[in-house]
Amino acid sequence: MWSLSAVLLLVVGHAFAQLPLPEPAFMPPNASAGAAPSPSGVTPNSQWSSLLGDLLYFYDAQRSGKLSVGNRVKWRNDSALSDGQDVHLDLTGGYYDAGDYIKCTFPLSFTLMSVCWGATDFGKGYDLANQTPYLDAMLRWGLDWLIKAHPTNNTLFVQISDANIDNNYWGGDQTIPGPRKSYQINSTSPGTDAAAGAAAAFAACSNLYQNHVFSDFYSGPATLQNSTYASLLLQHAQALYTFATSAEKTEYQNSVPEVGDTYSSSGFGDELAIAALFISWATNSSSLYEEAQSYYSHYNLLATRIAQANPAFGNISTWQGQAEAYLDGVVYGGGNGYLTTGGLLYYPGDSDTNSLNPALNAAMLLNRYVPLASTQTKKQDYYNFAKSQVMYALGDNPMSVPYVVGVNPNSPQNAHSAMASGGNNINDINNDPPQEAYVLYGAVVGGPDKYDRFFDIRNDWPETEPALDYNAPMLTLTAMHVLNDTSDPFYTTLQAGTYQSKRPQGLPCDAAYQQGCAGPQLSQAGQIVMGVIVGLAGVVIFSLIGWWGWLVYRGEYDPCY
């Protein structure tokens, strides 16, 4: 599917090395604290700051391996301590991908790329909220694992365990079943998308740790500069990019069929372009920048979607025109998405398995594009549209549900998370136990169905499952709001019981429940899904090209250098 690949494609570890964590630790407040408006008129607004903290805390709960001394999630245990033994390597650590215990490199890379890119531009929001040490810890927990997963230049581990094993287990972190096989790509069995996606993550995060200021339009990077770490990340980025471009070009599921059941990809042009752009930015390399342009043309990224596709980069009005043709389609209609009755941007197909993720990615892109927009009207319209999606996700919706666990009494109570549920009966995920054992604070769930209905059913994975990549755009959006929003997130107006009075009758209409609408038969166990937004790759490219474009425009960069 074009759009799936587009999103995907398009698109912390050593206790001493990272920034010291605050004492006492930030802990998510209980849900009732999210129903109490904060003193108005100040930045940072304490509710937005607290939300940022919750969103990062979610990643603590997803940790695999030996939990560090500072573990904040008391109900989690050390787990999967033998990962990598089958290949005589230490592949412990990293993050569980979603509601189960698989570790997947492709969506992890996407998540790290997205969070690092956001923290480069809106990083002062993390600083203001006192969350930068947790951002650092979150990134290193992922990046340090990704480093282990890249033991030689041309080897990248792309998945630990597989869907056959994982989808047949529902239980705690002490009895995760094996064998947990380590799947790799290498010179003889390559995977251009996975290698380039990891390269993009390393390069984007290298820029962040290098304190590389992307543009004076934005607030600037979070304060976690570490040049040693930045160089290490850049080395991995360059080696992986070389691997991606010099091996035979192919989708990684052609080399590792097992990823076809989790996160397959449908192309690699976007990852190549994004990796080349982030590395070119990290190294001031104009030749890599030109390579990115050539991928853009060669793979026709977005060309089918954008009428006046005419990739002549270095010309600011050309890339601006293309970016706005895409974003106008989102905001004014005419793109592939439409607005639900309740106001959620919905992409038929992609949104059916996780309705919030495409909308939040679109909001994130629109928000960051605002300062670059060509007219005052567009600046305002893009900003307002993005805000409407964020507010929808935070409770301004027909259900009065903020789709982040634990932030308000109306938040989802039944996240599709094996570890948080406390259950171990795969035949009765919904009722055993009746109440979720642990609150998975800060998890953005899949979201409502296309009729704006949210059923809060534990085995309804499209609506209630969390995932690493679901939180990523919300982090960047929340950091933006911490920076300059003096009013509370919408949910502080929602008092206990509001959702109960609106809870829908019947059954959902989504990819897990066909009862609410005739649909295809899918397995009842949790499936792994990854949010997709048409055009994410395109806008990443536009934004980065925009950076170069502005330098050219302002005479600060000589393309012949």
Ligand X SMILES: *[C@@H]1O[C@H](CO)[C@@H](O)[C@H](O)[C@H]1NC(C)=O
Question: Which residues are annotated as catalytic?
Answer: 456, 465
Helix, strand, coil percent values for the chain (each to nearest 5): 45, 5, 50
CA 39, distance to chain mean position in Å, is 31
- What does R_g of the chain's alpha carbons equal in angstroms? 22
Quick note: the x/- pattern for ligand X over 114-143, rule CB under 6 A, is ------------------------------
Query: By CB under 6 A, what part of segment 213-252 binds ligand X?
Result: 226, 228-229, 235, 238-239, 242
Q: Which parts of 440-487 fold into alpha helices (H)?
A: 461-464, 468-484
Q: If we measure between CA atoms, which residue out of 487, 509, 498 comes closest to residue 353? A: 509
Q: Rule CB under 6 A: is residue 376 a binding residue for ligand X?
A: no
Query: By CB under 6 A, what part of segment 282-301 binds ligand X?
Result: 284
> How far, in Å, are 84, 102, 479 from residue 467 at the CA level?
23, 11, 19
Q: In this structure, what is the dihedral angle of CA atoms 434, 440, 441, 445, given to the nearest 10 degrees? A: -90
Distance CA 365, CA 327 (A): 9
* Number of residues in contact with ligand X under rule CB under 6 A: 37
Distance in Å, CB of 318 to ligand X, minimum: 5
Distance in Å, CB of 255 to ligand X, minimum: 5
- Between 21 and 517, name the residue whose CB sits nearer to ligand X: 21
Quick note: the x/- pattern for ligand X over 250-279, rule CB under 6 A, is -----xx-----------------------
Complete edge-to-edge strand list for the sheet that includes strand 103-104 = 103-104, 156-160, 182-185
Query: By CB under 6 A, what part of segment 171-210 binds ligand X?
Result: 172-174, 183-184, 186, 188-189
Distance in Å, CB of 150 to ligand X, minimum: 10
Query: By CB under 6 A, what part of segment 95-114 binds ligand X?
Result: none
- Between 57 and 183, name the residue whose CB sits nearer to ligand X: 183
- Between 284 and 500, name the residue whose CB sits nearer to ligand X: 284
Sign of the C-alpha dihedral computed for residues 236, 237, 238 and 243 taken in this order: positive
Query: By CB under 6 A, what part of segment 36-75 binds ligand X?
Result: 75
Query: By CB under 6 A, what part of segment 478-507 binds ligand X?
Result: 480, 484
Q: If we measure between CA atoms, which residue out of 131, 101, 107 comes closest to residue 119? A: 131
> Which residues touch 352 (CB under 8 Å, ≥6 apart)?
450, 462, 510, 511
Return residues touching ligand X (CB under 6 A).
Answer: 14, 17, 30, 32-33, 75-77, 153, 172-174, 183-184, 186, 188-189, 226, 228-229, 235, 238-239, 242, 255-256, 284, 315, 317-318, 370, 383, 419, 480, 484, 556-557
